[in-house]
C-alpha cells in the first residue's frame, strides 16, 4: 500500500521594490505556489488570511518598514447600496453579464490595452503583451471565471477575472472602457459581484488590498460592509487615522513569525 505525503507549501519573499501606493516606501511580498490537487483548498485557506492570487501563486504584502496594506472584503450580509451606488447600478442596468471559462480573447486584450494606456501607463503591467495577458487569464489551478459585461450593441465594456472560493468571490483583476467614466464601471462590477455572491449564497466578496492614505485605493472603503484583515483577524474598516501606527517599522514582525502564524490545511509551512 502506498501513501502520498501532502505537498508542504514553501514560502518565499520577493526583493524590495518601490511601493506603488505610498511615496518613499518599499514593498515586498510573501508568496507561495499553487500546485497539485490541493491548489483549490490552499487558495481557499490562504484567501481567508489576506492572500491574493496571481496566476499560480498566492501572495500578500510583507514589507520591511510598514504594514499599511490590508486585504479587504465585503461582508455581503452587511452590505447595502449608498445613494451614489444606486445611481451607478441604475446607469448600468442594460449591461449583460456573461460568465465564461478563463480563456483570453483578442477583444478582451484590446480593451485591456486601452485601459492600461489610459489609467496605468506607468504601472508594472504597462508593457504586457497578448501572451502575458493570456497567461494572466488562463494560468490558474483554481476555479476561475471571466465575467464579461456587454452593452446593448453587444460591445465589450468591462471584464473581471474572478476566483470562486468556498466562502466568496475574489476579484483577481478587472478592466473596463475608460471612455465611459460617467458609468463608473469599476464600481459597478463590484456591486454586481455582491449581487452574484448573493445568488450563490456566498458570504464575502474579496476586493484585493486597501491602503489607508492612498488615493488609488480609497474607493474600496466606500462600500458598506467592508472588512480588513489586520493582526490575524477580519474587522470592520475604520477611518484612515486609526491605521497610523501600521506605517511604523515597529509594527512589522519577522518573516519567520509571519509564516509560523499561517494556518494551512494539514501541513506545517516551510519558509525560505
Per-residue pLDDT of the chain (272 residues; tens, 9 = 90+): 444 445 678 999 999 999 888 888 899 999 999 988 889 999 999 999 999 999 999 999 999 888 889 999 999 999 999 999 999 999 999 999 999 999 999 999 999 999 999 887 676 777 889 999 999 999 989 999 999 999 999 999 999 999 999 999 999 999 999 999 999 999 999 999 999 999 999 999 999 999 988 888 889 999 999 999 998 999 999 988 888 876 676 778 888 889 888 999 865 555 54
- Identify whether residues 194 and 244 lie together within a single domain: no
- Identify whether residues 78 and 18 lie together within a single domain: no
Cell numbers of 111, please? 480593451
Confirm whether 3 is domain-assigned: no
Range of the domain at 261: 10-70+240-271
Confirm whether 2 is domain-assigned: no
Confirm whether 235 is domain-assigned: no
From CA 193, how far away is CA 206, in angstroms rounded?
A: 9
**Beta carbons within 10 angstroms of residue 110's beta carbon:** 12
Confirm whether 186 is domain-assigned: yes
Cell numbers of 94, please? 442594460
- Identify whether residues 216 and 85 lie together within a single domain: yes
- Identify whether residues 222 and 248 lie together within a single domain: no
Q: What is the largest CA-CA distance in the chain?
A: 64
Cα-based torsion angle of the residue sequence 105, 34, 72, 63 in order, rounded to the nearest 10 degrees: -110
Confirm whether 116 is domain-assigned: yes
The residues near 161 (Cβ < 8 Å, ≥ 6 apart) are 102, 136, 137, 144, 145, 146, 147, 171, 172, 173, 174
- Identify whether residues 50 and 108 lie together within a single domain: no
Helix H or strand E encompassing 198: helix 185-199
- Identify whether residues 91 and 203 lie together within a single domain: yes
Confirm whether 224 is domain-assigned: yes
- Identify whether residues 98 and 132 lie together within a single domain: yes
- Identify whether residues 64 and 138 lie together within a single domain: no
Of 194, 236, 225, 229, the C-alpha closest to 209 is: 229
Specify the CATH number for the domain of residue 121. Answer: 3.40.630.30
From CA 201, how far away is CA 231, in angstroms rounded?
A: 28
Rounded to two decimals, the pTM is 0.91
Of 211, 207, 242, the C-alpha closest to 225 is: 207
3-class state of residue 247 by DSSP: helix
Cell numbers of 87, please? 445611481
From CA 259, how far away is CA 271, in angstroms rounded?
A: 7
Of 243, 252, 211, the C-alpha closest to 62 is: 252
Domain count, the chain: 2
Confirm whether 265 is domain-assigned: yes
- Identify whether residues 63 and 157 lie together within a single domain: no
C-alpha distances in Å from residue 236, one per residue of 187, 196, 216, 219: 20, 22, 20, 15
Cell numbers of 74, please? 465585503
- Identify whether residues 139 and 225 lie together within a single domain: yes
Confirm whether 61 is domain-assigned: yes
Of 213, 202, 197, the C-alpha closest to 245 is: 213
For the stretch 239-250, pLDDT in tens is: 888 888 766 767
3-class state of residue 59 by DSSP: strand
From CA 162, how far away is CA 155, in angstroms rounded?
A: 20
- Identify whether residues 32 and 119 lie together within a single domain: no
- Identify whether residues 66 and 164 lie together within a single domain: no
Amino acid at each position: 500500500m502506498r501513501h502520498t505525503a501532502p505537498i508542504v507549501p514553501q514560502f518565499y519573499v520577493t526583493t524590495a521594490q518601490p511601493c506603488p501606493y505610498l511615496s518613499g516606501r518599499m514593498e515586498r511580498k510573501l508568496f507561495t505556489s499553487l500546485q497539485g490537487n490541493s491548489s483549490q483548498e490552499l487558495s481557499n485557506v490562504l484567501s481567508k488570511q489576506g492572500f491574493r492570487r496571481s496566476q499560480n501563486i498566492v501572495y500578500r504584502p510583507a514589507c520591511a518598514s510598514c504594514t499599511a496594506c490590508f486585504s479587504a472584503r465585503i461582508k455581503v450580509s452587511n452590505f447595502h447600496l449608498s445613494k451614489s451606488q444606486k445611481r451607478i447600478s441604475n446607469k448600468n442596468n442594460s449591461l449583460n453579464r456573461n460568465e465564461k471559462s478563463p480563456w483570453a480573447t483578442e477583444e478582451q486584450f484590446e480593451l485591456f490595452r486601452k485601459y492600461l494606456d489610459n489609467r496605468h501607463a506607468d504601472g508594472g503591467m504597462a508593457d504586457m503583451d497578448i501572451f502575458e495577458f493570456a497567461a494572466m487569464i488562463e494560468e490558474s489551478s483554481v476555479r476561475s471565471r471571466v465575467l464579461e459585461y456587454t452593452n446593448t450593441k453587444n460591445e465589450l465594456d468591462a471584464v473581471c477575472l474572478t476566483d470562486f472560493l468556498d466562502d466568496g468571490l475574489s476579484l483577481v483583476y478587472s478592466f473596463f472602457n475608460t471612455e465611459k467614466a460617467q458609468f463608473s464601471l469599476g464600481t459597478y462590477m463590484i456591486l454586481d459581484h455582491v449581487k452574484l455572491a448573493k445568488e450563490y449564497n456566498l458570504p464575502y466578496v474579496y476586493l484585493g488590498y486597501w491602503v489607508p492614505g492612498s488615493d488609488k485605493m480609497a474607493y474600496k472603503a466606500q462600500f458598506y460592509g467592508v472588512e480588513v484583515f489586520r493582526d490575524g483577524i477580519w474587522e470592520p474598516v475604520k477611518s484612515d487615522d486609526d491605521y497610523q501606527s501600521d506605517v511604523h517599522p515597529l509594527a512589522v514582525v519577522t518573516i519567520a513569525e509571519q509564516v509560523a502564524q499561517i494556518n494551512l490545511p494539514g501541513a506545517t509551512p516551510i519558509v525560505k
